[in-house]
């Protein structure tokens, strides 16, 4: 079994299950970067606060998970700034200094036109968002993203937990099995499999429907030899 460094990033927080997931990760000594939606933060700030108190990082994932490729620049930055204010408020209430400002586009939908994309990235830099720089990454998709100097965060491994359905759905077992099997497939060109050497940036999602299955995926990630850490500020 390989042993390698990884960063766990979790999109679409905070869900109704986030508090339990924060506690589960803490029991495994796993820090994470939770990319938060502003509308969810307004509903469940306490869960985000608990993540901070457990040593994790809160990132910005827009206000309502819109396709940024379709938004005007005014609307796009309104989404970002509105969520930033909420994230800052959670830090103040938790008494935790902000370590790093990070942003991930919903759906990775960021390119309307080349000019629109360039303006979005420029606006992120002006607001202090920083790119994810990690040594030892071998994923070509991640390296291509980094070579463009983009301030938004990408990943090396998509666990595809967004394909999971509710546990009582007839397809639940098959979909979970597929997500677990994907970790063992040696298809690095398609970013499948975790058997290659190199640092991994894993993306999961804080979705309600994955209740009871989410923890199974994390356990399998650990069994693949991933040692989770936080990026340096």
Residue 219 maps to which CATH number? 3.20.20.370
Cβ neighbourhood burial of 86 (10 Å; 0-12, 13-18, 19+): buried
Q: Which residue would you say has higher pLDDT here, 179 or 196?
A: 179
Whether 19 shows a pLDDT value over 70: the answer reads yes
Q: Tell the residue number behind the tokens 């360039």, with chain if given.
A: 118
Which residues have CB under 8 Å from 101's CB, separation 6+? 60, 84, 127, 128, 129, 130
Q: Rounded to two decimals, what is the model's pTM?
A: 0.96
Whether 187 shows a pLDDT value over 90: the answer reads no
How many angstroms separate the CA atoms of 56 and 149, rounded? 25
How many angstroms separate the CA atoms of 37 and 40, rounded? 5
**Residue 233 located in a structural domain:** no
What's the confidence (pLDDT) of residue 24?
A: 98
Using DSSP's 3-state secondary structure scheme, residue 59 falls into strand
Q: Where are the beta strands (DSSP E) in the chain?
A: 4-13, 33-36, 57-60, 157-158, 200-205, 226-228
Provide DSSP, 5-23.
Answer: EEEEEEEEE--TTHHHHHH
Using DSSP's 3-state secondary structure scheme, residue 76 falls into helix
Whether 62 shows a pLDDT value over 90: the answer reads yes
Encode pLDDT of 161-175 as tens digits: 999 999 999 999 999
Least confident residue range of 23-37, 60-74, 139-153: 139-153
How many angstroms separate the CA atoms of 69 and 118, rounded? 12
Q: Tell the residue number behind the tokens 């989404």, with chain if given.
A: 79
**Residue 160 located in a structural domain:** yes
**Residue 198 located in a structural domain:** yes
How many angstroms separate the CA atoms of 16 and 43, rounded? 9
What's the confidence (pLDDT) of residue 229?
A: 96
How many angstroms separate the CA atoms of 208 and 15, rounded? 6
**Residue 49 located in a structural domain:** yes
Among 79, 81, 78, 36, CA closest to 57: 36
Whether 84 shows a pLDDT value over 70: the answer reads yes
What residue numbers bound the domain in which 167 lies? 4-228
How many angstroms separate the CA atoms of 44 and 219, rounded? 26
The total number of structural domains in the chain stands at 1
**Residue 95 located in a structural domain:** yes
């Amino acid at each position: 079994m390989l042993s390698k460094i990884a960063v766990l990033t979790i999109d679409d927080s905070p869900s109704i299950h986030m508090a339990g997931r924060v506690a589960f990760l803490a029991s495994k000594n796993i820090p994470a970067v939770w990319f938060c939606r502003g509308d969810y933060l307004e509903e469940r700030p306490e869960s985000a606060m608990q993540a901070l108190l457990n040593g994790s990082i809160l990132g910005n994932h827009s206000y309502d998970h819109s396709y940024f490729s379709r938004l005007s620049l005014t609307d796009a930055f309104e989404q970002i700034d509105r969520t930033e204010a909420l994230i800052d408020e959670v830090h103040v209430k938790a008494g935790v200094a902000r370590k790093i400002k990070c942003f991930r586009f919903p759906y990775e939908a960021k390119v309307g036109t080349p000019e629109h994309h360039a303006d979005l990235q420029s606006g992120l830099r002006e607001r202090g968002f920083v790119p994810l720089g990690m040594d030892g990454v071998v994923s070509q998709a991640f390296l291509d993203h980094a070579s463009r100097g983009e301030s938004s965060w990408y990943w090396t491994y998509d666990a595809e937990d967004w394909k999971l359905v509710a546990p009582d759905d007839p397809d639940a077992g098959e979909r979970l099995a597929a997500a677990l099997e994907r970790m063992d497939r040696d298809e690095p060109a398609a970013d499948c499999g975790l058997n290659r050497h190199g640092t991994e940036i894993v993306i999961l999602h804080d979705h309600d429907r994955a209740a009871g299955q989410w923890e199974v995926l994390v356990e399998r990630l650990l069994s693949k030899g991933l040692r989770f850490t936080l990026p340096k500020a």
